[in-house]
Every structure is written in structure tokens, then in C-alpha cells.
Amino acid sequence: MDKNECLILVDNSNTFICGQELSAQKRELEYDKDFSWRIDFGALLDKVANGHQIIKAVLVGSTPPPKDSLWQAAKQIGFEVVTYARGQSGEKSIDTEIVACGLDVIYEHPRPAVLKLLSGDRDFVPLVQRAYKKGWETELWGFSRCISNTLQQMAHRVILLDDLLEVIGRHESPSGF
């Protein structure tokens, strides 16, 4: 196993929404989400990579509005960005895309490395199980209130983003939207 290499997979909605909820709670806002909080993709990538050589970094989420430059910025920083249109029943295909991207790398990379998953959805249990079978270490990164207990118990390491909220994100004024 090469512990110096990593695969980073980010469920944007899970990370973004849970970050907004925690920010609202910390700032004691009257709303359940702090709509001014945004992910700083460069800071997020640096923090999560933590000195590891990145095999691939994938950010998956819903298709943004046409004038949204955030996803382009994420691409420039080094993320492969995959988006899907949000349907009437909400987000579909996002978790499946993350699992598919993860399995592609896990099965095609010549040696085991570290899987760094940024989500707490229980949908990722099969991905973590396959990573184990192929000798990969797994790190689960997420906000404490948004991580499945089952997924936490399976990961080699769980890194809570709660104390990193201001490191991986920032507040933007309404004019920043």
C-alpha cells in the first residue's frame, strides 16, 4: 500500500448543506442554514490531501446555475467535476457516480492507497467495503451530524469537519452570489 497516494471523492451537496447547517448553528442564526457559507475548494483539497499525492480528486453535485463560476474554480484547483441535473424528486445519480468513480480508481490503480471520502451517506458502504477488499485504507471526512454510524464504524479514520468549518469555507456577502 502506498500511504502517500490518495483518492479524494466529494459529495458536494452533503458537504455544502451540512456546512451551512453547522455554520448557522455556530453563528446562532434564526434559520437552519447559513446561506452565506461557501466551500473554499482550494482549502478543502489542501486540507484533505494533507500532503498525499492525489491520484484523482472528484467533486460530484447538482448542475449549478449558468452564471455560477464556483464549479469552474473547482476544476482549476484540480477537481474533476461531475454534475447532474436536479430532478423533481431531488438529486439522483450523484452517490452512484461517486461510487462508480471510486471503484474505477480502486480497481485500476496499480496499488492500494488511501480513499478519502467526503460524505456521510450510508449509500457509500459498498464502496468502502470494496476498498477494504482491495487493501485500501479509508478516511471518512464529514460533519458530525451528517455521518452515518455504519459508515463511521467501517472507516479506518474519521475526520470531523466541524472544527475545520472556517478553514474549508468562508462567508460571502449577498453580492458574492
Whole-angstrom Cα distance, residue 173 to residue 158?
32
**Does residue 177 surpass a pLDDT of 60?**
no
* 3-class DSSP assignment, residue 49: helix
Per-residue pLDDT tens digits for 89-144: 666 789 999 999 999 999 999 999 999 999 999 999 999 999 999 999 999 999 99
Can you name the residues that pair with 57 across neighbouring β-strands? 8
Q: What is the pLDDT of residues 63-78, one digit of tens each?
A: 877 767 777 888 888 9
Report the predicted TM-score, pTM, of the whole model to 2 decimal places. 0.92
Query: Alpha-carbon distance 41 to 39, whole Å?
Result: 6
pLDDT given at position 88:
62
The residue ranges of every structural domain in the chain are 5-176
CATH architecture of 5-176: 3-Layer(aba) Sandwich (3.40)
Give the residue among 59, 68, 95, 56 at the shortest CA–CA distance from 168: 59
| SS3 (DSSP) at 45 | helix
CB 37 within 8 A of CB 61: no
Which pLDDT does position 130 carry in this prediction?
Answer: 97
Cα three-residue angle 148-154-156, rounded to 5 degrees: 115
How many other C-beta atoms can be found within 10 angstroms of the C-beta atom of residue 60?
27
**How do the residues of the chain divide into helix, strand and coil, expressed in percent and rounded to 5?**
45, 25, 30
The cell 468502502 sits on which residue?
128
